[in-house]
Amino acid sequence: MRLIAENFSLDGSVESIRAHGSGNINDTYIVTLSEERGHSILQRVNTYVFPEPEVVMDNMDRATRHLEQCVRDDALAWQVQQVIPAKDGRMYWKEEDGTFWRMISFIENSESFDAIYTHRQAYELGYALGMFHQHINRLRSETFKTVIEGFHISPGYLEAFDSAKVSGSDRLDVELEFALLFIEEHRRDIARLEEGKALGVLPVRTIHGDPKANNIMFDKQSGTAVSMIDLDTIQPGLVHYDIGDCIRSSCNPLGEEPGTEWRETLFDLESYRHLLRGYLVWGKSFLHKEEYDYIYDAIFLMTFELGLRFLTDYLRGDIYYKVHFPTQNKYRALTQFKLASEIEKHRTKIEEVIKELQLL
């Protein structure tokens, strides 16, 4: 690992390297530099999920340069994760065994949370996502290439589930009956966002693609959100994918991994209200009136979709998401379906908050 790290233009010599974070896709390590020269993040990019990692790095490089410029121009209190090039000048390092590595800067004195526990954090999260959308969209969405075809296009995930189910049907159990019933009862809703897109009501913009709670960094002292990390999936899409994904991951106090306790999963309406309020500080200036009508659908669908994605992976034998025990993807899926059912239960309230905030 040290030899791999030493291929990059670091600002000092490597003192230690440790595994870091809880990502489901890439392998992440934190590199400590000697003589208190700070830290960097070393990642092995998952080339099954990102078959063209060079394109990911190209997008990331464009995005970070642009966001840096925005920070300077608008004097934003914001930090942008930088790509640290390899010594040969490329944005990545390829090992002889074909593994693909990159180094990115670490946001010092910051922390992230797997779920959100205070109203302030919820507001900060929403504010951060809104600010990100506002600034990244000063560039035309065509600036960024698509890194994952069909990403967050929910009907595609239902189709994938339908074809996986057949071959994996012998592995169904009692707990899965809840999931299967939920899917059957909601399959007709799967295209709501794509319909909005086809109607021209939901425009294609540039999105983060993975704005879950722990991809937003908070300053340890002030508690202010200071950065959005994990810029792998910046690509053209609907901001509704991001809004839904951010809300589903943040307003679930038990987080994504309650395991066998998945039935306890709840949707925290208060966190949701504060998050959306923070988002709309920026979002009000670019969201069209009709786009508000799809916010509930976004929250529900991104949750339902992630349930389908986890369940499909479970049925296919865990080829996409990393697992630490054999039923982990099943429990992740059940958690999202339970969360989606809670979201549905609170639909009226969720929609009231949207209306109320829209009028402010």
Residues of this chain that bind ligand GN1 (CB under 6 A): 23-25, 49, 210, 212, 230, 233, 245, 256, 306
DSSP assigned state of 199: T
Q: Which residue is nearest to ligand GN1 (CB)?
A: 24
Task: Write the Ramachandran bin of 138: left for phi over 0, alpha for psi from -120 to 50, otherwise beta.
Answer: alpha
Cα–Cα distance measured from residue 37 to residue 12, given in angstroms and rounded to the nearest whole number: 7
Nearer to Mg ion, 91 or 287 (CB): 91
SS3 (DSSP) at 153: coil
Nearer to Mg ion, 124 or 245 (CB): 245
Q: Which residues bind Mg ion (CB under 5 A)?
A: 210, 230
Nearer to Mg ion, 230 or 297 (CB): 230
Residue 256 touches which of Mg ion, ligand GN1, none (Cβ within 5-8 Å per kind): ligand GN1
Shortest gap between Cβ of 109 and Mg ion (angstroms)? 23
Nearer to ligand GN1, 241 or 272 (CB): 241
Nearer to ligand GN1, 93 or 310 (CB): 310
Residue 153 touches which of Mg ion, ligand GN1, none (Cβ within 5-8 Å per kind): none
Residue 246 touches which of Mg ion, ligand GN1, none (Cβ within 5-8 Å per kind): none
Please list the helix, strand and coil fractions of the chain in percent, rounded to the nearest 5, in that order. Answer: 50, 15, 35
Shortest gap between Cβ of 235 and ligand GN1 (angstroms)? 11
Phi, psi of 111 (to 5 degrees): -145, 160
Instruction: Give yes or no for a contact between 29 and 18, defined as CB atoms under 8 angstroms apart.
Output: yes
What CA–CA distances, in Å, run from 126 to 5, 27, 60, 79, 278? 34, 27, 22, 16, 5
Tokens 């899965």 belong to residue: 176
Residue 49 touches which of ligand GN1, Mg ion, none (Cβ within 5-8 Å per kind): ligand GN1
What CA–CA distances, in Å, run from 137 to 58, 111, 150, 203? 17, 26, 20, 12
Q: Which of 276, 136, 294 has its CA nearest to residue 207? A: 136
The token duo for 10 is 């670091």
Shortest gap between Cβ of 20 and ligand GN1 (angstroms)? 13
Shortest gap between Cβ of 322 and Mg ion (angstroms)? 12
Shortest gap between Cβ of 231 and Mg ion (angstroms)? 9
Shortest gap between Cβ of 8 and ligand GN1 (angstroms)? 21
Shortest gap between Cβ of 321 and ligand GN1 (angstroms)? 6
Nearer to ligand GN1, 73 or 111 (CB): 111
Residue 226 touches which of ligand GN1, Mg ion, none (Cβ within 5-8 Å per kind): none
Tokens 């949707």 belong to residue: 267
Cα–Cα distance measured from residue 302 to residue 256, given in angstroms and rounded to the nearest whole number: 13
Residue 306 touches which of ligand GN1, Mg ion, none (Cβ within 5-8 Å per kind): ligand GN1
Max intra-chain CA distance, the chain:
59
Q: Which amino acid is at 324?
A: H
Shortest gap between Cβ of 234 and Mg ion (angstroms)? 11
Nearer to Mg ion, 150 or 223 (CB): 150
Nearer to ligand GN1, 48 or 170 (CB): 48
Cα–Cα distance measured from residue 212 to residue 230, given in angstroms and rounded to the nearest whole number: 10
Cα–Cα distance measured from residue 89 to residue 71, given in angstroms and rounded to the nearest whole number: 25
